[in-house]
Structure 1
Amino acid sequence: MELPSLSELEQAAAIVYSVIQPTPQYAWPLLNEELGVETWVKHENHTPTGAFKARGPLVYIDRLLEREPGVKGVIAATRGNHGQSVALGARRNGLVATIVVPRGNSVEKNAAMRGFGATLVEHGSDFNESREHALALAERDGLHMVPSCHPDIVAGVASYWLELFRAQPGIDLVLVPIGQGSGISAAIAARAALGLDVQIVGVVSAHAPAYALSFAAGRSVDAPVSTVLADGVACRVPEQTSLDLILREVDDIITVTDDEVARAMRLYYTCTHNLAEGAGAAALAGALQLRDQGRLRARRLGLPLTGGNVDAAVFGAILRQA
């Protein structure tokens, strides 16, 4: 993937801001105390879909219609947040949206996608099986398949990194959850466009370690998925476009367990009273792990709270564990 210029990122941001206002970043005193470092949380849980992914498909669909004005409908595979975002972008442009999710997907994320006007199809046991089915439906029904990671999606997502880096230019380390790679690719793009010296460390689930194994091997490595909490990073097969960029630009990738994610979800709630879904708390889980290992070396830390779409029953059980 060729990194976009600052001008190109700002053009994408203008599309995002026609629908979504910039989200806040806060340094929460109790969280600073817990981590022992000044920490800026970027609240992407405050977008209209409750997650950072709202930004990318707005840009993708806007530019798709410039290239292919005859498109009547779009389709995507998701565990939830990408699907809500595709549905939002489709509704804004008068398109029908079909979203394919794995069986047993989050009940509340499914409801939210339907709320944005999407037709939901449940198929497969994981994201990759859903994706294969979505591709088949796209061909059968003449729908445009919206990918999880694409330069236009990355450009849209990068708008939140521009906001954070410009608001707090002294940040020298960011931890970024990796699902299909649009979030970390966007961090890389914004860092390069602004000419910053910021260390970027990816965070994946220890129960979905494909990107961590691929980073260590220097090539794509598939891995089974068994995470219960971090469905937003439940990737079995790395996205090659984002993996190539990660291998070239990312400083490290660490893994966190579901127990560590649950701990981070509780900490976000007690320190900030914000809900974080599993993937949304993964960056904080990574920061806690680095702190516990004596490896959290930063003057100013940036953590994206990438989403807050967690089912009430799941979150209630996590709070009760405390």
Structure 2
Amino acid sequence: MTLFSRDDLDAAARLVHAVMPPTPAYAWPLLAERFGLQVVVKHENHTPIGAFKVRGGIVYLDRLKRERPEVKGIVSATRGNHGQSLAFAARHAGLPLAVVVPHGNSVEKNAAMRAFGAELIEHGRDFDEARERAAAIAAERGFEFVPSFHRDLVMGVATYGLELFLAHPDIDILYAPIGLGSGLCGLISARDLLGLKTRIVGVVSEDAAAYALSVEAGRVVEVNATNTFADGIAVRIPSAEALAIIIDGAERIVKVSEDAIAEAVRTYWTDTHNAAEGAGAAALAALAKEAPALKGLKAAVILSGQNIDRPVMLEILSGRTPKAM
């Protein structure tokens, strides 16, 4: 199941690459030594916002400006990287942007969104309550509400899958985190459009397992709360559209512990000297969990973002696991 054609994806890649170069995909030798197999890391932490979502914002805003130039502004909800993506793209498009974040959101992600030009509004206890407020602001101001899952967002982020699979078409198994689902759906779409057989595995926190529960049930299953420091995957209510693509195209979903995510952040720093936020390290945590069964395979992981607050990083590098944000 794909949302767009190969021609659409190639056009999206041209849009993205006019703004930023492809991100690297490296097979780090220390990771190979640690896990006993080749591990390719797709470095989506090496984008202008330090996360993969910048790609979706570029593509979404391009279509919006072309097809609806009368739009007065845009509004969305985020835990940080989606908001930075829209702020980056909205600045280039010359559109006002309001972003709603929950109370207690990452201080440094909030600062980055403001630096890109977003109006930041704090509301609610989690992403889903922030999303409700963003929808209300859209109605009040006549702004376009930008969801976290949309065809153009998926097509934009699928360009990192296109880059990865063109550089490494022989990947046997690929692990990627699941926030609201655009990244994983983009990878599934890129793989299918290229006709590859790579097994794609989604990753969630044990304490934010709505997508795992939903895949098991074959329908959207909401959870009452999330309890993970990996804010990028702290989702209570899955997207039905994303879920359908994941059920159709992902091999399975792996749940990882908070301690395992923290250890993966430390592993990235020790073995590659790259910073990873919690969501960005989740895929490596899943690979670490399953490494004994992967001998002889070529594996890949998505380092989806590096936007981790300094106090959280210090706590992790000191050997501890942070509490939920």
TM-score normalised by structure 2 residue count: 0.96
RMSD across aligned positions (CA): 1.1
Partner Cα separation in structure 2 for residue 265 and residue 242 of structure 1: 27
Matches of residues 150-189 of structure 1 in structure 2 within 5 Å?
150-189=150-189
Aligned twin of 2:5: 5
Partner Cα separation in structure 2 for residue 125 and residue 238 of structure 1: 17
Partner Cα separation in structure 1 for residue 28 and residue 127 of structure 2: 34
Aligned twin of 2:98: 98
User: What amino acid sits opposite 1:80 in the alignment?
Assistant: G
Matches of residues 218-237 of structure 1 in structure 2 within 5 Å?
218-237=218-237
Q: Deviations over 1:232-266 (max 9, x none)?
A: 00000001110111111111001111111000000
User: What amino acid sits opposite 2:262 in the alignment?
Assistant: A
Matches of residues 1-150 of structure 1 in structure 2 within 5 Å?
2-150=2-150
Matches of residues 181-200 of structure 1 in structure 2 within 5 Å?
181-200=181-200
Partner Cα separation in structure 2 for residue 145 and residue 206 of structure 1: 30
Q: Residue 301 in 1 paired to residue 299 in 2?
A: yes
Q: Is the 8 A contact 1:229 1:262 kept in 2?
A: no
TM-fit CA distance, 1:3: 3.0
Q: Deviations over 1:61-115 (max 9, x none)?
A: 1101122110121111000000000001100000011000000000000000000
Aligned twin of 2:313: 315
User: What amino acid sits opposite 1:51 in the alignment?
Assistant: A
Partner Cα separation in structure 2 for residue 132 and residue 197 of structure 1: 39
TM-fit CA distance, 1:226: 3.1
User: What amino acid sits opposite 1:145 in the alignment?
Assistant: F
Runs of 4+ in 1 over 2 A off after TM superposition: 224-228, 294-298
Partner Cα separation in structure 2 for residue 150 and residue 129 of structure 1: 19
Partner Cα separation in structure 2 for residue 54 and residue 227 of structure 1: 26
Partner Cα separation in structure 1 for residue 72 and residue 305 of structure 2: 29
Aligned twin of 2:264: 264
Structure 1 range deviating more: 66-75 or 131-140:
66-75
Partner Cα separation in structure 2 for residue 64 and residue 45 of structure 1: 26
TM-fit CA distance, 1:138: 0.4
TM-fit CA distance, 1:225: 3.2
Where in structure 2 are there 5+ consecutive unaligned residues?
321-325
Partner Cα separation in structure 1 for residue 13 and residue 261 of structure 2: 31
Q: Is the 8 A contact 2:219 2:240 kept in 1?
A: no
Q: Is the 8 A contact 2:31 2:271 kept in 1?
A: yes
Between Structure 1 and Structure 2, how many residues are aligned?
320
User: What amino acid sits opposite 1:206 in the alignment?
Assistant: E
Partner Cα separation in structure 1 for residue 151 and residue 90 of structure 2: 18
Matches of residues 281-292 of structure 1 in structure 2 within 5 Å?
281-291=281-291
User: What amino acid sits opposite 2:282 in the alignment?
Assistant: A
TM-fit CA distance, 1:296: 2.9
Q: Is the 8 A contact 2:212 2:253 kept in 1?
A: yes
TM-fit CA distance, 1:12: 0.8
User: What amino acid sits opposite 1:7 in the alignment?
Assistant: D
TM-fit CA distance, 1:2: 4.1
Q: Secondary structure at the match of 2:192?
A: helix
Q: Secondary structure at the match of 2:45?
A: helix
Q: Secondary structure at the match of 2:53?
A: helix
Q: Secondary structure at the match of 1:266?
A: helix
TM-fit CA distance, 1:193: 0.9
TM-score normalised by structure 1 residue count: 0.97
Q: Secondary structure at the match of 2:284?
A: helix
Aligned twin of 1:206: 206
Partner Cα separation in structure 1 for residue 295 and residue 7 of structure 2: 32
Q: Is the 8 A contact 1:27 1:40 kept in 2?
A: yes
Structure 1 range deviating more: 294-303 or 123-132:
294-303
User: What amino acid sits opposite 2:40 in the alignment?
Assistant: W
TM-fit CA distance, 1:224: 3.2
Q: Secondary structure at the match of 1:321?
A: coil
